[in-house]
Amino acid sequence: MDGANTSTAAPVLILLGPPGAGKGTQARMLEDKFGLVQLSTGDMLRAAVAAGTDAGKAAKAVMEAGDLVSDEIVINILRDRLAEDDCAKGVILDGFPRTTVQAQALDTLLGESGQKINAAISLEVDDAAMVSRISGRYTCGSCGEGYHDSFKQPAKDGVCDKCGGTEMKRRADDNAETVGSRLEAYHAQTAPLIAYYGGKGALQKIDAMGAIEEIAEGLSAIVTKATA
Ligand code: ADP
Ligand code: ZN
């Protein structure tokens, strides 16, 4: 057997991009279309905050300020989640890694289980547009579907298209002041990962300024190729 053949391993995809780039929206689309599991460290941390765990207590104020939670906390949460059975289908990482230390930890984790990264896909957007994207967004409290005051309204105001839920929520950190800090953290700590994955030959870029459906089509094509 050819030792280099890893095509039977479950796919591992990474979505890179600043807050507001649409990683969560597109990850959910890929989850449905390719039967993968979306792993959002932001969602995991918000759940930890809501549950009042030690990690959640440590993360709360950091997240509200728009800064990054410590690598140690995030890596531990992600490691535990990756070990769960459903991840054997393959995963889309949304919001992780966000620092070089996290990227190296991910390489080690995947190496231990004989997995590799199929593609790290960078969603390319203009910073200026991110503030309005983020300030207008909200999600369905029941199923998590994302909406936006201007760009993606449900067919019936206040009612989720996907599940009929009527409880919409806005994140505590989705306000104009915090968005500035989140964009800064992105440029200082996460943007260097574009070069990191470029150096590994795993980087793919996609213009993410267009319509959600167009971006979804482009992404699907990239994922189909990267997981073939
Ligand atoms: P967004 O990409 O829109 O900023 P997320 O839901 O991915 O939103 O993350 C929200 C917050 O959670 C971040 O601002 C940060 O404080 C924290 N966070 C999420 N993922 C990570 C990570 N991998 N490393 C450090 N902090 C993280
Ligand atoms: Zn819903």
**Distance between Cα 130 and ligand 1 center (Å):** 15
Q: pLDDT tens digit string along 134-193?
A: 988 999 999 999 999 998 999 999 999 999 999 999 998 998 889 999 999 999 999 999
Q: Which atom of ligand 1 is nearest to the CA of 178?
A: 14
**Distance between Cα 147 and ligand 2 center (Å):** 10
**Bigger pLDDT: 36 vs 177:** 36
User: How far is the C-alpha of 160 from the C-alpha of 150, rounded, in Å?
Assistant: 16
Q: Which of 225, 216, 222, 186 is nearest to 32 (CA)?
A: 216
User: How far is the C-alpha of 211 from the C-alpha of 12, rounded, in Å?
Assistant: 25
Looking at the predicted structure, is the pLDDT value of residue 9 above 90? no
What is the 3-state composition of the chain as percent helix, strand, coil, each rounded to the nearest 5?
50, 15, 35
Q: Strands 146-148 and 203-207, how do they pair?
A: unpaired
Q: pLDDT tens digit string along 105-131?
A: 999 999 998 899 999 999 999 988 898
200 included as an active-site residue: no
Q: pLDDT tens digit string along 42-95?
A: 999 999 999 999 999 999 999 999 999 999 999 999 999 999 999 999 999 999
**Distance between Cα 66 and ligand 1 center (Å):** 8
Looking at the predicted structure, is the pLDDT value of residue 1 above 70? no
170 included as an active-site residue: no
Is any atom of ligand 1 closer than 6 Å to the C-beta of 42? Answer: yes
Question: What phi, psi does 172 have (nearest 5°)?
Answer: -60, -30
User: Is the Cβ–Cβ distance between 133 and 20 less than 8 Å?
Assistant: yes
Is any atom of ligand 1 closer than 6 Å to the C-beta of 178? Answer: no
**Bigger pLDDT: 2 vs 77:** 77
Q: Which of 23, 28, 46, 133 is catalytic?
A: 23
| Residue 223 pLDDT | 96
Helix (H) or strand (E) segment spanning residue 50: helix 41-51
**How does residue 8 score in pLDDT terms, banded at 50, 70 and 90?**
low
Beta strands in the chain (DSSP E): 12-16, 37-40, 91-94, 119-124, 137-140, 146-148, 168-169, 203-207
98 included as an active-site residue: yes
Output the pTM of the full model: 0.89
81 included as an active-site residue: no
